[in-house]
Structure 1
């Protein structure tokens, strides 16, 4: 199993804690990126939102693609999984930009394709926000243009959402046939698209039994299409302490989200514009992507055992959140990674 982490583009992950000892400066981002390689992390997920959905829309946040280029220049090994939302990027122009970044990074670029959920953000930035299934139809065309652009030669495409004529992208990405495409989603539209077009399925946090059922479903879909196996990633928030009591005390602190907190309204909008397989409580939303449900909260031995349980059901990649990010990553690397490796 590879161990990755979410890059703290929002200056923190907790919706009820105003100051987590993290900021959005480049100096802190550079320090974290370099140190994460030294600690042995394999990958970082750089989320893309133009507004801060954790700390509130008035709070600062980093741009994913500007940050990714900078991180690529100051690191050597770590994979850069950068989120991209098709409705915010022309696919032909994006294909050129992403290929250039892949060259800069030495072939370390991967994409996390996200079909958007935040209608208010789209309104503020003047971007069209389609109905749920229409967003996935747009994504399907967007990916077709991307693959065609990276295929070499001249490429033309005429779809409902995108049209290009004799498109040429050179140089192409270093990774063949393309950078890894990760995507997540629990609606039928999302799962059908991912099974057909992507390389990896990234899931919201859940316990092993539920994760196993999701992986089995996607494996069936993939086999029916006659395609190679997907990789499987899982979001998880990790709390490591010397005692279980101390870990539970920290858990209580991070799940105390009140209706007046900056992220509360965003919680309702996310629920309204997503099609999830199960209900999400406000405690779940205290950290992103149901990260508490895998149960990575406890002593180093307990957390390592639960990670082994996730690996046993087919999870290839963990995408960890923690707070404060670097301090907790240091603790995880020192106390949990040796038990896994």
Structure 2
């Protein structure tokens, strides 16, 4: 008889650290830039980064997802590896870190998603999770012989998707489902997963998206509309209040960032200017904004330039720029504003993670935001 392995904790959900950390988008890179440091995501490097992040006690390794590039055929923005097969391979290469697949619910059927997520869950022994996205890129959806649905309809479909997925994960008998978007006969998911439910992330920011995240997600990600901690706290409080009052649940709040760490703040800011302003991929970002702005309900007037800058810097993330001390202080300010989870991107992931682990993590431990890895292993 084979030995039964006790399930691993999903650290993005279960870690006691005040600030949980994840490495985001190594499966293709996050910066829109022509700078030679732009990460190209070769597999051997990704495995080294995943193992190093695991050794550092970082809680999550999260993919981005893209089916069609911006900027024309063969543009690097389309070079993102498929996220479930990627996650299974990363899970087999690591020991503790949570592994998150980003999934387009409007493209990937929930029965297929449940089977793939279960596979990752078994390979990882309970460390699997998913970043749920509705999809908003018409050319991408058209590849699947579909038309982009109106904003509200995409979230209505997503609600059904999650309901079906949860039943497939939880139930052991076949069932029928009759919804507006899905009609299933004899649906079942085998083999059985390790977790009762994988960890769900979502970054819905419109009123309808916020409601979806509050209802369905374990971690809701905000797109920071300011670097002012008080304004970030207001966004955080909005999510928490909605989740508590309408759905009777507690959720974590996360934020994505781009990290540039140097010996001086001036050197860090000069590097950002070089890869974002001097060598930024303006054409691809302009196309991204042209497609996306009409659907970006969260954006106040007059922020297109800031959005362009942040996209080129790293998927629209919050800046963690400066010395190790500057970055640690910024992370503390985010924690004080109510942020629980921070996703990290770099142009040079391998060198950036190495410097972050050497110089920033010890400062976060001294601040009481994280326990030393020896205490959490």
Q: Normalised by the size of structure 2, how large is the TM-score?
A: 0.83
Q: 1:63 aligns with which of 62, 70, 82?
A: 82
Distance 2:73 2:239 in 1: 35
Aligned to 1:162: 182
Q: 2:215 aligns with which of 196, 204, 229?
A: 196
Aligned to 1:4: 22
Distance 1:189 1:104 in 2: 34
Aligned to 2:243: 222
Aligned to 1:269: 291
Alignment pair present for 1:141 and 2:160 = yes
Secondary structure of the 2:338 match is: coil
Aligned to 1:19: 36
Q: Cα distance 1:105–1:286, how it changes in 2: closer, same or farther (>3 A)?
A: same
Is the contact made by 1:184 and 1:201 (CA closer than 8 Å) also made in structure 2? yes
Q: Cα distance 1:58–1:296, how it changes in 2: closer, same or farther (>3 A)?
A: closer
Is the contact made by 1:255 and 1:283 (CA closer than 8 Å) also made in structure 2? yes
Aligned to 1:121: 140
Q: How does 1:1-341 map to 2 (within 5 A)?
A: 1-10=19-28, 12-20=29-37, 22-53=39-70, 57-59=74-76, 60-154=79-173, 155-176=175-196, 178-205=197-224, 206-207=226-227, 208-256=229-277, 261-278=283-300, 279-281=303-305, 282-291=308-317, 294-341=318-365
Distance 1:54 1:325 in 2: 23
Distance 1:245 1:136 in 2: 43
Distance 2:272 2:139 in 1: 30
Is the contact made by 1:49 and 1:64 (CA closer than 8 Å) also made in structure 2? no
Distance 2:86 2:71 in 1: 18
Deviation, structure 1 residue 21: 5.5
Deviation, structure 1 residue 24: 3.3
* 274-283 or 223-232, which deviates more: 274-283
Deviation, structure 1 residue 193: 1.4
Aligned Cα RMSD in Å?
A: 2.1
Secondary structure of the 1:261 match is: helix
Distance 1:54 1:28 in 2: 25
Distance 1:103 1:309 in 2: 37
Q: Cα distance 1:175–1:44, how it changes in 2: closer, same or farther (>3 A)?
A: same
Deviations 1:39-69 (A, max 9, x none): 3322111011113448975333311122111
Is the contact made by 2:71 and 2:287 (CA closer than 8 Å) also made in structure 1? no
Deviation, structure 1 residue 161: 0.7
Deviation, structure 1 residue 84: 0.7
Distance 1:312 1:335 in 2: 21
Q: Cα distance 1:56–1:269, how it changes in 2: closer, same or farther (>3 A)?
A: farther
Deviations 1:206-227 (A, max 9, x none): 4222221111111211121252
Is the contact made by 1:236 and 1:318 (CA closer than 8 Å) also made in structure 2? yes
Deviation, structure 1 residue 228: 2.0
Distance 1:202 1:245 in 2: 30
Is the contact made by 1:42 and 1:79 (CA closer than 8 Å) also made in structure 2? yes
Deviation, structure 1 residue 255: 2.3
Is the contact made by 1:68 and 1:80 (CA closer than 8 Å) also made in structure 2? yes
Deviation, structure 1 residue 259: 7.5
Q: Cα distance 1:140–1:288, how it changes in 2: closer, same or farther (>3 A)?
A: farther
Is the contact made by 2:62 and 2:99 (CA closer than 8 Å) also made in structure 1? yes
Distance 2:144 2:61 in 1: 26
